Amino acid sequence: MKETINLAKEKMTKSLNALDKEFAAVRAGRANPAVLDKVMVDYYGAPTPVNQMAAISVSEARILVIQPWDKSSLKLIEKAIQASDIGINPTNDGNVLRLAFPQLTEERRKELCKSIKKYGEDCKVAIRSIRRDTMDKLKAMKKNSEITEDDLKDCEKKVQDLTDKFCADADKAVADKEKEIMTV
């Protein structure tokens, strides 16, 4: 019974962590190495993340510098970034790649806010799904006489409280990210 609730809490925490990862990859007008997390380079026939092939640093507020450990992979990394959905063309000086993040337009900010709200809603749907699965497990335990009616009611309340807390956390994360994006 307790382990069922702890498992639900663990899964809900993972959902929130996944939301944070999604938010990290959203371009907010500032240089953030996390935007390259999903970019894969075909390196010797294996898809390899950029951050495993190069040192990525922020040289100025809106400029990301990518310095590959293997100079021969510079062109490969450049092609992978151009093929990705980042929407920024890297400049290549023969040693490093530079990604200059343009200032976001009002329209683009609003677009990003919409996608952030969608990520937040997806996270809350996942949290509610975990609640439903946990409630089903608890009802099955009651049906098999493993727990009493009172235990079931207590557990259902605990699971609902957890769900409310994690949904509120997701809403707060969405609001914080929207504020960050809308700040000029």
Report how many domains make up the chain. Answer: 2
Residue 41 — φ and ψ, nearest 5°? -110, 135
Q: 0.75 cut: is pTM over it?
A: no
Task: Please report, for the domain that includes residue 72, its CATH number.
Answer: 3.30.1360.40
- Domain hosting residue 157, numbered range: 2-24+105-182
Token pair belonging to 65: 């510098």
Q: Which residues of the chain have pLDDT under 70?
A: 27-29, 184
Domain end (from 76, 100, 124): 100
User: Domain check: are 111 and 169 in the same one?
Assistant: yes
Answer yes or no: do 117 and 86 share one domain. no
pLDDT at residue 29, rounded to an integer? 65
User: Could you tell me if 92 and 115 lie in one domain?
Assistant: no
Please return the burial class of 51, using the count of CB atoms within 10 Å of its CB with bins 0-12, 13-18 and 19+. Answer: middle
pLDDT score recorded for residue 65: 92
Q: Which CATH number fits the domain that encloses residue 110?
A: 1.10.132.20
Asked if 58 and 124 sit in the same domain, the reply is no
Which letter does DSSP use for residue 73 in this model?
Answer: G
Name the E strands within the chain: 40-43, 46-49, 54-60, 63-68, 91-92, 97-100
Listed residues 100, 132, 153: the one ending a domain? 100
Q: Exposure of 71 by Cβ count < 10 A (0-12 exposed, 13-18 middle, 19+ buried)?
A: exposed
Does 89 share its domain with 114? no
Looking at the structure, tell me whether residues 19 and 55 fall in a common domain: no
Verify that 96 and 110 share a domain, yes or no: no
Residue owning tokens 């949290």: 127
What is residue 21's predicted lDDT score, i.e. its pLDDT? 84
Give the C-alpha separation, 58 to 50, whole Å: 15
Distances (CA, A) of 50 to 43, 54, 56, 79, 98: 10, 6, 9, 11, 13
- Tell me, what's the pLDDT at 8? 92
**pLDDT tens digits, 95-131:** 888 988 877 788 888 888 898 999 999 999 999 999 9
pLDDT at 60: 81
Tell me the three-class secondary structure of 23-69, residue by residue: HHCCCCCCCCHHHHCCCEEEECCEEEEHHHCEEEEEEECCEEEEEEC
